[in-house]
Structure 1
Amino acid sequence: MASKLKQLTSKACQVSEFVAKHGNAYYKQVMEQNKQYVQDPPTIEKCNLLAKQLFYTRLASIPGRTEAFWKELEQVKSLWKNRQELKVEDAGIAALFGLECFAWFCAGEIAGRGFTITGYYV
């Protein structure tokens, strides 16, 4: 266990040295590549305006998303009505989708408990 800790410490030191040497250059490169997204001047008022624009734009997209949801629900209902004609592949895909949803739920529960399996902090 002590050797693993020593390796981890050594690796962490190497990473911090790398970031110290190359972090500034990486920052400048990223900012140069994405300068079209930077607002000038970078004021609090501009940030508040952008936050409001994002919020209300997302709010305006709700009717379109609800319409897509209802269309999808109608497709599922029609599949359920004609389930005798359902292919094994389609049933397998639906089962895998359900399993994936359940797995994401479990992962979310574990993350919500602080990444512990039992729910108790160690």
Structure 2
Amino acid sequence: MASKLHQLRSKAVQASEFVAKHGSAYYKELMEKNKKYVVDPPTIEKCQELSKQLFYTRLASIPGRYEAFWEELNGVKHIWRNRNELRVEDAGVAALFGLELYAWFCVGEIVGRGFTFTGYYV
């Protein structure tokens, strides 16, 4: 455990040295590329206004998302009703999608347990 802590600490030192050396240049390059998105003057009031605009814009998009959800659900219902006419390729794609979802959930569980397979820390 102590050796892992020492390795982690040395990696953190290396990362902070890299950021100290290259962080300023990266920041300047990033700001230069994206200056069209920067609001002038960058004040707290302007940030609060933009935050409210984002919130209410997202809120206004709920009815459209609601309708899109029901359209997708109706499409799934239609496919389920006509499942006898389903092609093998479509069934294969659906099976692969389901398998991928299951795999992501399994990976998420493993990550959530700290990359252990039994759930116990060794």
- Partners in 2 of 1:33 and 1:47 — Cα distance? 20
Identical columns (%): 76
- The TM-score, its normalising length taken from structure 1, stands at 0.75
Runs of 4+ in structure 1 over 6 Å off: 5-12
- The TM-score, its normalising length taken from structure 2, stands at 0.75
- Partners in 2 of 1:12 and 1:110 — Cα distance? 24
3-state SS of paired residue (1:77): helix
Per-residue deviation, 1:46: 1.1
| Ranges in structure 1 where 5+ consecutive residues have no aligned partner | none
- Partners in 2 of 1:15 and 1:112 — Cα distance? 24
- Count of aligned pairs: 122
Cα RMSD over matched residues?
3.3
- Partners in 1 of 2:101 and 2:20 — Cα distance? 41
3-state SS of paired residue (1:102): helix
Q: Bigger shift: 110-119 or 16-25?
A: 110-119
Match of 1:40 in 2: 40
Per-residue deviation, 1:79: 0.9
Per-residue deviation, 1:76: 0.9
